[in-house]
């Protein structure tokens, strides 16, 4: 079983992605998580490049890692500087990390046009920078920047840059596709040529500008690369970096490679989601292995097959990477889908029960009207329980009226009046709000509060409106999705109508109904 080393650069290269901005505390939290999952190297940033990275390397000194080695990142010394006087190398040493990753120019074009020095001088920069760091007892990983573009232009010189790093004592040399333009077959040809010339440990660092970064990284390991660099969620500059969410499980679960992370692979999905949360970015639901859609099944015949054997439509067990199998509710779903959902509440229910067919037909009709239950499991649960008479409605609507008034330049005024009945007792209430939906929300909560005080804990956490018929303009049907939380759990509800207030009411009423029912059920379980 081949050992592969994973070098994570989420905190450095990943942080260069557009829209990603980790705080110092975020970086420390992520570093701890990357260690917990069993990665070999964590690149923390470029000490001296900015105050945030300086503070990170200072604070991380108090953190003890169980598996990972922390690496500081920087470049070779600047032309004209002695190593012991070069601020970049001094900042790398001051970071006090066991590992240092430095990059140098491998492409003659960059040496001549960017550094504007002779090619021989560039080799000296690489060699003595590495040697200086090695003399300070650092493990040194040399990143050969723009390696593949350089090799295509001048193979002999590009290989000499690797040899210069090795003469300096580099522990590993990493071939970087910095522009991300290399394709798999040319990568294979170049990598194999390098492997014939260089016997030292080789790594790869691939950018995703051609959409091939993860595939090339996997191929690299198959061709004998010792170290794979990447980021979680594929974060990185421009189109991103090779995505560890894909690379790690592919190598360890499918290709027989070994690494400490294999013992903690069930943490992969939660690690990916944690990093997305701290990056304040949506988690890509279609990501392989870790996305919420990665093991989501919608078509009825697929779900029926999955029930018989998961391998029929799943390439791995989702639990192996800490993910879950999901059966989606849609007009493509057959009785098998509905049965799986309903059996949670009605044990022993069979596919041939006529109520299952009725519920299936009802679902398809609702979806035809614009409802969609994939992100509204609470609405669907209520649908099932109504069909099987499993609960009593918390309230009945007598009616509501909403007034929206605009006078001159004054802010818009919204007021809602609502009448509800609870256990035969009517309540009529009026409330104002920032808009018509907010006013309606405030009014229904005010009306129900004395019957259900737990409603004070329900908070709207998300509200989305989707136009379903773009060609109809303001006459179009809309779908409203509401996400609600009680501080511990979260649930989604849906409404659909040509009237946005009606669609909002449907989702809002389900949200409150579900929350009340859920709190009653929880209280009963605690008493029982």
Handedness of CA 300, 304, 307, 309 (dihedral sign): negative
Cα 96 versus chain centre, distance: 31
* Phi, psi angle pair for 126, to nearest 5°: -65, -50
pLDDT band at 528 (very low <50, low <70, confident <90, very high): low
Task: Give the residue from 242, 224, 288, 290 showing the smallest Cα distance to 37.
Answer: 290
**Other Cβ atoms within 10 Å of 179 Cβ, number:** 15
- Both structure tokens of 476: 């179009």
How many residues are present in the chain? 528
Task: Give the residue from 249, 195, 248 showing the smallest Cα distance to 224.
Answer: 195
| Identical fold between 5-278 and 369-393+458-528 | no
User: Helix, strand, or coil here: 447?
Assistant: helix
What local confidence, expressed as pLDDT, does residue 332 receive? 46
What is the average pLDDT score of the chain? 90
- Per-residue pLDDT tens for 491-523? 889 999 989 999 999 999 999 999 999 888 888
Task: Give the residue from 242, 255, 198 showing the smallest Cα distance to 6.
Answer: 242
Percent share of the chain, pLDDT over 90? 65
- Both structure tokens of 389: 């008479």
C-alpha to C-alpha distance for 324 and 282, rounded to whole angstroms: 18
What local confidence, expressed as pLDDT, does residue 461 receive? 81
Window from 241-250, 343-352, 480-489 with minimum mean pLDDT = 343-352
Percent share of the chain, pLDDT over 70? 92
Architecture of domain 5-278 in this structure: Alpha-Beta Barrel (3.20)
Q: Which CATH class is domain 369-393+458-528?
A: alpha beta
C-alpha to C-alpha distance for 267 and 224, rounded to whole angstroms: 26
C-alpha to C-alpha distance for 361 and 23, rounded to whole angstroms: 50
- Both structure tokens of 431: 């409330």
Tell me if the domain spanning 395-451 has CATH number 3.30.160.
yes
C-alpha to C-alpha distance for 265 and 484, rounded to whole angstroms: 31
- Per-residue pLDDT tens for 145-196? 999 999 999 999 999 999 999 999 999 999 999 999 999 999 999 999 999 9
Domain extent listing, the chain: 5-278, 296-368, 369-393+458-528, 395-451
Q: In the 3-class helix/strand/coil scheme, how is 107-161 assigned residue by residue?
A: CHHHHHHHHCCCHHHHHHHHHHHHHHHHHCCCEEEEEEECHHHHHHHCHHHHHHH
Q: What is the DSSP letter of 9?
A: -
């Amino acid at each position: 079983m081949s050992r592969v080393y994973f070098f994570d650069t989420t905190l450095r290269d990943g942080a260069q992605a557009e829209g990603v901005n980790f705080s110092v505390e975020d970086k420390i939290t992520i570093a701890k998580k990357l260690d917990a999952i069993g990665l070999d190297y964590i690149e923390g940033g470029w000490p001296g490049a900015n105050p945030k990275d300086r503070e990170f390397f200072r604070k991380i000194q108090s953190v003890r890692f169980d598996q990972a080695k922390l690496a500081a990142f920087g470049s070779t010394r600047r032309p004209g500087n002695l190593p012991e006087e070069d601020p970049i190398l001094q900042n790398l040493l001051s970071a006090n990390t066991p590992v240092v990753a430095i990059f140098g120019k491998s492409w003659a074009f960059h040496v001549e046009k960017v550094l504007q020095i002779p090619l021989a001088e560039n080799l000296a920069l690489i060699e003595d920078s590495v040697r200086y760091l090695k003399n300070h007892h650092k493990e040194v990983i040399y990143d050969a920047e723009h390696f593949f573009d350089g090799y295509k232009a001048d193979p002999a010189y590009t290989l000499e840059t690797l040899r210069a790093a090795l003469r300096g004592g580099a522990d590993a040399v990493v071939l970087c596709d910095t522009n991300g333009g290399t394709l798999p077959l040319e990568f294979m040809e170049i990598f194999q040529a390098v492997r014939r010339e260089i016997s030292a440990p080789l790594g790869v660092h691939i950018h995703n500008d051609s959409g091939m970064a993860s595939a090339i990284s996997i191929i690299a390991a198959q061709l004998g690369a010792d170290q794979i660099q990447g980021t979680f969620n594929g974060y990185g500059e421009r189109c991103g970096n090779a995505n560890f969410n894909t690379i790690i499980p592919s190598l360890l679960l499918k290709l027989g490679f070994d690494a400490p992370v294999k013992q903690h692979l069930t943490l992969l999905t939660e690690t990916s989601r944690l990093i997305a949360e701290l990056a304040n970015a949506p988690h890509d639901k279609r990501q392989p292995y870790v996305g919420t859609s990665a093991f989501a099944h919608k078509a009825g015949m697929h779900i029926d097959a999955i029930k018989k054997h998961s391998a029929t439509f799943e390439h791995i067990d989702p639990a192996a990477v800490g993910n879950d199998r999901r059966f989606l509710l849609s007009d493509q779903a057959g009785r098998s889908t509905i049965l799986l959902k309903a059996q949670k509440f009605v044990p022993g229910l069979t596919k041939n029960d006529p109520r299952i067919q009725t519920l299936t037909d009802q679902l398809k009709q609702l979806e035809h009207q614009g409802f969609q239950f994939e992100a509204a499991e609470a609405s669907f649960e209520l649908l099932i329980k109504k069909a099987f008479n499993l609960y009593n409605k918390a309230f009945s609507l007598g009616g509501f009226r909403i007034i929206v008034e605009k006078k001159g330049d004054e802010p818009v005024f919204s007021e809602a009046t609502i009448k509800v009945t609870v256990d035969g007792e009517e309540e009529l209430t009026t409330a104002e709000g920032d808009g018509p939906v907010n006013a309606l929300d405030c009014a229904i909560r005010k009306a129900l509060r004395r019957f259900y005080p737990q409603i004070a804990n329900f908070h709207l956490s998300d509200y989305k409106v989707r136009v379903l018929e773009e060609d109809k303009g303001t006459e179009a049907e809309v779908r409203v999705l509401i996400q609600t939380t009680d501080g511990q759990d979260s649930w989604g509800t849906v409404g659909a109508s040509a009237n946005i207030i009606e669609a909002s009411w449907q989702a809002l009423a389900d949200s409150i109904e579900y929350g009340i029912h859920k709190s009653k059920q929880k209280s009963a379980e605690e008493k029982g």
